[in-house]
Structure 1
Amino acid sequence: MVAYVNTETLPSLPPPKGLQGPAAWMRQNLFSNWINGTITVVLVIGILAALIPFVNWAFIKADWVGTSRDDCTSGGACWVFVYVHFKLFMLGLYPEAETWRALLVGGILVLTLAGLMIKGVPLKKYIQIFALFFFPIVAYVLLSGGYFGLPHVETNFWGGLLLTLVIAIVGIVAAFPLGILLALGRRSSMPIVKAICVVFIEVWRGVPLITVLFMSSVMLPLFLPEGMEIDKLLRALVGITLFQAAYLAEVVRSGLQAIPKGQTEAANALGLTYWQGMYKVILPQALKIVIPGIVNSFIALFKDTSLVLIIGLFDLLATIQGAFSNPKWLGYAIEGYLFAALVYWIFCFGMSRYSQHVERSLKTTH
């Protein structure tokens, strides 16, 4: 009997033709049996029945450019409403002559975020320092003015997407480190520190944000000394930051509780202090676990900025509502709300996708 042993590795064969390609994917996922096939067909028909009229109204028959509602004659969507009020939606009542300042701040913000997010960008450490410590100062000086010969622009004139981004960015940047400190304090072994953090978190989580904004706008001035005033936007920013920090604290605490006790013991065995162990061992692992929860809180904060309307601040949504309340533009609320929904979706979807990218880049357990 003769035995033959092949010592060479045979080349990999391609998968069968019926198991690859779009047709195979549809057969496996959409038409695997008659029930799934029926559901797929019904859903496709329903989506097309709703989508075709919408596309026809929103794009094919739409009017895009003009100066007044008289230019909307096709019977479709009147995007002229957005075209005419675009500057108002973006910057609110910010003075026309000073628009360049807001645009410059937006350009610096985009470049800074690009430098932080794109891999391989040199001097990333200095970009981080600029983003945390210098960009807020530069943005405030440019937007508010009163320095270096720039005319002062009161925050009452800030509005639209500009105000939405200011509130969201300040709330996120300020609430995140405060939330981490509150989470650490709630897990502290010092009774007084723990009690203070527990009371803070439970009180702020126990009231709705709209109540916080009312208190900061209406009640707080009653407790201030006579003649002392605090800017309305600043009061809103402080209230939103404290409110969001309480929610972020619980998200971070869930990540801290998910870390095995052995990690803390290992940090102690290496001779690390409490803060060194937290910074180098515990927090990097805990924050990686709760990235979805953190980003979810950021997205919720971005959308909750629309509540500042109740205290007289006109963000993007409030500005759009004010525009279609104008008698000259009555009847175009749908276009305004669709534009607002698109803007909110772009920012929220961008945060969601970037968080997924960060999760994949930090996934070291597999």
Structure 2
Amino acid sequence: MDRDRFERSPTGHLVKITGTDGRSGVAYEHVAFQPDPLAGAEPALAGGTWRNVARAGRALGRLDQAGRQIPEPALLLQPTLRTEAQSTSALEGTFAPLEDVLAAEVTEPTSQSEEVREVLNYVRAAEAAFAWIGDGRPLTVAALCQVHRDLVRGTPADTRDAGRIRSIQVAIGSRGGAIDTARFVPSPPGLELDAAVRDLLDWITVDSKSIDPVVAAAMAHYQFETLHPFNDGNGRIGRLLVVLDLCWKGILSEPLLAVSPWFEVRREEYQDHLREVSATGDWDGWISFFSEGLVESCERTIRTVDDLLGLQAEYVRRLKVAGLTGGLVRDIIDGLIGSPFVTVRSVSEDTGRTLQAASNAVARLVELEILRERTGRSYGRVFEAVEVTSVLRAQSGR
């Protein structure tokens, strides 16, 4: 970390750190960046940035309206959440094909890769966090720690610090994790870090209410990433925090927003903007970039929702042309936009019908080219609504 760039920072200060590198066993003497608590007002922003903020606010309003008009928003939350899970994990170096993540509901856990299981950890952690917020409970340190515990369960990061504010010094962007070669060294562990995390959550819950919600979400995300409070998973939790914040403040009634696909394809720019806030106090550049990301993410999500609902209507039309107006085949297609992978057994279990009836219905949908059997070592006899997964790949930017 270039000390000269950070020692005159208007948003924080450097603190001396010493210790022994856990990987190499070499003693180090270095500095870490400690961000100041967030202010109770917006930072000074240029007119163009405020216009981007306003655009983001309008885009969030359109997405919220779209969510309110969906008869079963929970149906569309599943593919949106899995798309976000796959992309936010890829940003942190854990890549699993989107189709594998979507098919995980109907495949045996033993056939899933470690990467898929880690992505699914995010899905479960996010679902629990959304339920927490949906019950009207503000985010607390305990709730955030539970998100981390769920996220890292069964992964190499499932250490004694799992579900706890970290007790070790970490470094970002270094070769082999060494402190002295790191691009950025976040706050040292200890009482100050614990207090800073509590201050951030209090700020989100109370102090940021007088700040534009888009600006507040950008500021909170920066602060969380800069504190880097956990031993792993900070990027994924920090981006989840954006949606949790917007839901907590009532900007979004349903957590249908997927922000990571946009940031994933702009990884270096995203990281550079965060670092510039710490080095030079460039809130303007970060908030403008963040607002642009929200606009694009909202518009992409709205298009995805429209395309999925359009596909559902098209499937109904195909059934009518084939003389199938109801029954088990209709039950299956009603759920495909939320779960585009099925097996005969999953259809039987979900509908309470016999395996033979489920098999006949799936075969009919294959004939109508609504389902296609997906073959492969890890799939077995799994059937895919290819047009649905194509829409979701477009949402993920792939």
Shorter-normalised TM-score: what interval? Answer: under 0.3
Q: Structure 2-normalised TM-score?
A: 0.23
Q: Structure 1-normalised TM-score?
A: 0.25
Structure with larger Rg: 1
Structure number having the greater strand percentage = 2
Q: Tell me: higher relative CO, structure 1 or 2? Use CA pairs within 8 A at least 6 residues apart.
A: 2
Structure number having the greater helix percentage = 1
